[in-house]
Every structure is written in C-alpha cells, then in structure tokens.
Amino acid sequence: MAAFTTENALLLIDFINEIVHPDGKLAGKGYADFDARHGALERAGRLLQTARDAGFAVIHVGVGFSPDYKEQPEASPLFGGAKKFGVLQSGTWGTQFHAATVPLAGEAVLTKHRVSAFFNTPLELLLRTYGVRNVFIAGCATDMAVQSAARDAHDRDFACRVVGDCCLAASDEDHQQTLRLLAKLARIVTLDEVAAGQA
C-alpha cells in the first residue's frame, strides 16, 4: 500500500461487476441502464486517472460477503437475500471491480459488509494516516453507498465532494433527488471541475 501524505483522497465505492456490469446479477435493478444513458463508468475511469495524476490517495471500496455469508445482515431489505441468490460473494467475478475502475498495485482496497464505506472498515484510519482533509466520492448507488459515505465523511469533519456525474443510481430520479439532498452537507462537483482543479 502506498505510503504518502496528501490532503486529497478519491473514494470509489461499489463499482463492482455484480452491480454495474450489464452481466451482473444486480445490474438489472437499473444501474447498467443508467450507465448506458449517462456514461458514468467511463467518466469514473477518467476521474480515477485524474486523481492518480494529481497525487490523490485512491481508495477502492466494494461490498462483499464470505462464501458462507457469515457477515450478511439477514434482516436487511437490501442485503437479506444475498445468500439465497448467491450474489456479492467475495472472491468471485461479481465482486471484482469493473474494468473502468480497476485498482493499481499500491492503491487501498477495502471490503465492506454494510452500506457505508466507513462502517467497520479501516477507511477513516487510512484517511487520517494519509493526512486527508478533502474526500472526493464517486460510486454506486448515489442514493445508498455514496450518500452514506458522504454523510459519514461529513460527520467525521472531512470536507466532502460528491462527483455527481461519476455516480450511478437505479433511476435518474433517485440520482438527482439524492444529489439535491447531499448538497446540504457536501459540494456536488463534476469531473470537469475536478480535472480543472476547481472542485
């Protein structure tokens, strides 16, 4: 893992095949169609390269459960059926990161078992260790993992930017409504603004 100090971090959340790839078991919920309409994954790939070029700390987070699903929250409407349908199993193609956002050697890769990237992961520790003050977030879904991470980052006193045009949701309505709400505690920025150093 990279050993460096930076004020900026890019947090990429749940860009995994199971959710965003057209062949993923969960893509049918609308995420692949959203990407087909908006090209968010391609922009997320460009955002990732922009962050690398600028010396950001890059942290990839993906949801996944052990083969026996011991971490699965069975009462969850979101994750409760994971074992029954054989989805989100760590070590499978489904939990690999999409080709547009594949981690490089040295970039932090974390597995989470709940919606928020901060819940029971070393994410906050990494951010503090790197000296990060500004957290840039992109991921899927805007209204779930991205929103949860942005709220948690805010409450941990990080300056949070959500790169809205690099996020995916099940519907345009979910995406836009969430960005409107998140604007109360995070800056909603675009890939072009990040690339131009204006975010």
Does residue 171 lie in a domain region?
A: yes
Domain hosting residue 93, numbered range: 8-117+138-195
Q: Is residue 2 part of a domain?
A: no
Sheet holding 187-189, edge to edge: 108-112, 57-63, 8-13, 134-139, 159-163, 187-189
Q: Output the pLDDT for position 2.
A: 46
Residue identified by tokens 């700390």 is 57
Contact status, residue 162 vs residue 168, Cβ threshold 8 Å = no
Q: What is the pLDDT of residue 134?
A: 97
Is the residue at 123 inside a domain? no
Question: Domain for residue 80, yes or no?
Answer: yes
Q: Looking at residue 84, what is its pLDDT? A: 86
pLDDT value of position 75: 87
In the chain, the number of structural domains is 1
The answer as to whether 162 is a domain residue is yes
pLDDT for residue 27: 82
User: Is residue 151 helix, strand or coil?
Assistant: helix
Residue-wise burial string across 144-164, b where 16 or more C-beta atoms lie within 10 A, e elsewhere: bbbbbbbbbbbeeebebbbbb
**133 inside domain:** no
Residues 136, 174: Cα–Cα separation, whole Å: 20
Phi, psi of 114 (to 5 degrees): -135, -175
Per-residue pLDDT, 129? 95
The pTM of this model reads 0.94
Share of the chain above pLDDT 90, in %: 85
Give domain status of residue 3, yes or no.
no
Distance, in Å, from the CA atom of 86 to the CA atom of 107, rounded to the nearest integer, reads: 28
CB atoms near residue 85 (< 10 Å): 9
| CATH code, 50 | 3.40.50.850
What is the pLDDT, as a whole number, of residue 1? 41
Sign of CA dihedral 173, 50, 102, 127: negative
Residue 117: closest CA among 97, 137, 88: 137
One digit per residue, pLDDT tens: the chain, 199 residues?
Answer: 445 568 999 999 999 999 999 999 998 899 999 999 999 999 999 999 999 999 999 999 999 999 999 998 888 888 888 888 888 999 999 999 999 999 999 999 999 999 999 999 999 999 999 999 999 999 999 999 999 999 999 999 999 999 999 999 999 999 999 999 999 999 999 999 999 998 8
For residue range 106-118, list pLDDT tens digits in order: 999 999 999 999 9
Taking residue 3's Cβ as centre, other Cβ atoms within 10 Å add up to: 7
